[in-house]
């Protein structure tokens, strides 16, 4: 067709090719059949013939990153190093001067071609500088997450410490100043982009479902090269909150964006079109539903990892599961059966099955939210050394050995860094990895009027008829009301009143599954409240 590869900045040819390659690899791994894989190898060969540094090739890269991850997977499935090298080219060429998107626009005769050569504009595509020189996460949050994840893949494959350090620097920038408490990323509707440092608005948050997924992929890849629980903690935060909130409890409807506050406004004129309190059946740009399906189907691959060199098996996520693993160094076959009701309680039972006694280490993640835990093996308490957030259990394992792992899971009050201006005087409620919110279905309208005293007890409340029996939280609080004499005044010197009220919190990911209404994560907190 005419126009092929002439506008890789705006058209998603390479992005779609990447997803199709990932599908082909998944199909091959699931079925052993190669017809789909072989077709996509031909497609990858074609792309490799068009892009690169060799004479006659285009020194370009995709406008929407994703193919970088897919090419590495294709390399692992086929052993063809050209696919890995092409991914490396796309990662390393981005940000080089002259800017490819500027040259491409000029070639198409676009009058504003020079506009796409400005550094600020190029930040949208993370193409303003080579990745090793980038200091903060900028631009489109989904593209960025895929780009950084692909860069970790290449750093790992090529042993590039400089590239890996750049990825860690960018991850830290997100996790310490640009990440929502739900694990969402992307503060701005404009450009679906990261905001400035500590720019984390609640009502206008974009926090696209795909951006949470991209951050999960980024965190998981760093976890594979640097076994540090901080990566698994943030991966889990996004999984149980800002990612899974993107799908309704019955799996039929979807959120594109995931704000942390929703206030009903007549006419809905103040919001961008995707900010809604009703999940949609589908979207014209339907990336999020498919991405959710893909991630949920592959969740098992995030739960465990093996380090053959160290003879270790690491447990990253606590999920009811059964997995067959083989330690490559010794050829030891291990079957791990995990039984748990996590994240609703902190008890995990892990049964070890081995054909013969074998010495290796089991590493259990101690979540960052957990202040007290206990580990027993065959009903005997063990004091395990904790390194980088993982408890190390090294022993000669026998068939039937049982690890009982308990994590205290109290309700916690979380406060934001004071540099997040919008969240001054507000508190979020969590329990384990779950972030909670208040919703109109339980608390009526005008949620901004509610106040939670700092001294108020937070009680776990399980009601089978509410949200399938999910643990909810209740507390005594107040609603601030305007006195009738001042009801029509925009400003007044007449003091309001505080009315006692029971406040009910539900898991954030479950909001919007009942009657449409308001929602709020960060509730106003009062240090001292005096009842009327």
| Candidate list 192, 208, 236, 525, residue with the active-site label | 192
Strands 426-431 and 411-414, sheet pairing: antiparallel
Backbone angles phi, psi at 381, to 5 degrees: -65, 140
Q: Does 285 qualify as catalytic in the annotation? A: no
The SS3 of residue 436 is strand
> Omega of the bond prior to 98 within 30 degrees of 0, cis?
yes
H or E element in which residue 305 lies:
strand 304-307
Tell me which of 210, 287, 370, 526 is the catalytic residue: 287
CB 3 within 8 A of CB 107: no
Listed in sequence order, the residues at least 6 apart from 288 whose beta carbon sits closer than 8 Å to its beta carbon are 208, 209, 210, 246, 254, 255, 256
Question: Could you tell me if 90 and 57 are in contact, meaning their C-beta atoms sit under 8 angstroms apart?
Answer: no
The kind and range of the H/E element at 442 are helix 440-443
- Cα separation, 470 vs 280, in Å, equals 23
Cα distance between residue 438 and residue 504, in whole Å: 6
Beta strands at 471-481 and 347-354: parallel, antiparallel or unpaired:
unpaired
Neighbours of 175 (CB within 10 A): 19
Give SS3 for 386: strand
Indicate if the alpha-carbon torsion angle 499, 505, 511, 512 is positive or negative.
negative
Residue carrying structure tokens 């499935």:
77
Smallest CA-to-CA distance from 425 within 527, 519, 291 is with 527
To the query of whether residue 236 is one of the catalytic residues in this protein, the response is no
Sign of CA dihedral 368, 369, 371, 372: negative
Find the helix or strand (DSSP H, E) in which 496 lies. Answer: none
Give 333-356 as a 3 state SS string. EEEEEEEECCCCCCEEEEEEEECC
Residue 170 · residue 134 · CB < 8 Å: yes
User: Rg for the chain (alpha carbons), in Å?
Assistant: 25
Measured distance CA(436)–CA(241) in Å, rounded: 9
The set of catalytic residues is 192, 287
């Amino acid at each position: 067709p005419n126009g092929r590869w002439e506008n890789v900045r705006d058209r998603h040819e390479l992005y779609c090719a990447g997803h199709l390659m990932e599908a082909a690899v998944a199909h091959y791994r699931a079925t052993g059949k190669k017809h789909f894989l072989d077709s996509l190898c031909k497609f990858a060969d074609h792309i490799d013939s068009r892009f690169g540094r060799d004479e006659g090739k285009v020194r370009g890269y995709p406008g929407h990153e994703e193919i970088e991850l897919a090419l590495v997977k294709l390399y692992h499935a086929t052993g063809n190093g050209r696919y890995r090298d092409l991914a490396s080219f796309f990662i390393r060429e981005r940000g080089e001067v002259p800017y490819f998107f500027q040259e491409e626009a000029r070639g198409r005769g676009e009058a504003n071609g020079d506009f796409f050569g400005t550094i600020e504009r190029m930040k949208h595509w993370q193409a303003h500088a080579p990745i090793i020189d980038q200091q903060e996460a900028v631009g489109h949050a989904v593209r960025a997450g895929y780009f950084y994840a692909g860069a970790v893949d290449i750093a790992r494959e090529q042993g590039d410490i400089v590239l890996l350090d750049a990825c860690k620097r960018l991850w830290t920038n997100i996790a310490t100043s640009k990440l929502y408490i739900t694990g969402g990323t992307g503060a701005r509707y404009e450009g679906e982009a990261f905001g400035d440092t500590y720019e984390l608005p609640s009502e206008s948050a974009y926090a696209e479902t795909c951006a949470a997924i991209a951050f999960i992929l980024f965190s998981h890849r760093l976890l594979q090269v640097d076994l540090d629980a901080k990566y698994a903690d943030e991966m889990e935060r996004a999984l149980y909150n800002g990612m899974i909130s993107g799908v309704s409890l019955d799996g039929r409807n979807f959120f594109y964006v995931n704000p942390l506050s929703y206030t009903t406004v007549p006419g809905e004129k103040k919001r961008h079109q995707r900010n809604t309190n009703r999940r949609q059946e589908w979207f014209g740009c339907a990336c999020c539903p498919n991405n959710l399906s893909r991630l949920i189907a592959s969740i098992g691959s995030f739960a465990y990892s093996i380090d053959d060199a160290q003879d270790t098996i690491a447990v990253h996520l606590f999920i009811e599961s059964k997995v067959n693993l083989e330690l490559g160094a010794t050829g030891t076959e291990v079957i791990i059966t995990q039984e748990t009701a996590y994240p609703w309680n902190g008890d995990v039972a892990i049964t070890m099955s081995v054909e013969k006694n074998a010495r290796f280490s089991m590493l259990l993640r101690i979540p960052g939210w957990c202040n007290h835990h206990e580990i027993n093996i065959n009903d005997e308490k063990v004091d395990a050394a904790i390194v980088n957030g993982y408890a190390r259990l090294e022993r000669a394992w026998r068939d039937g050995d049982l690890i009982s792992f308990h994590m205290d899971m109290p309700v916690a009050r979380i406060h934001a860094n004071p540099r997040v201006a919008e969240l001054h005087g507000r508190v979020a409620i969590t329990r384990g990895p779950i972030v909670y919110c208040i919703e109109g279905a339980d608390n009526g309208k005008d949620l901004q009027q509610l106040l939670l005293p700092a001294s108020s007890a937070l009680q776990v409340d399980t009601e089978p008829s509410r949200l399938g029996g999910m643990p909810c939280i209740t507390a005594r609080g107040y609603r601030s009301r305007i006195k009738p004499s001042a009801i029509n005044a925009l400003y007044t010197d007449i003091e309001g009143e505080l009315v006692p009220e029971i406040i009910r919190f539900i898991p954030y990911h479950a909001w919007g599954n009942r009657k449409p209404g308001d929602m709020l994560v960060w509730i106003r907190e009062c240090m001292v409240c005096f009842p009327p």
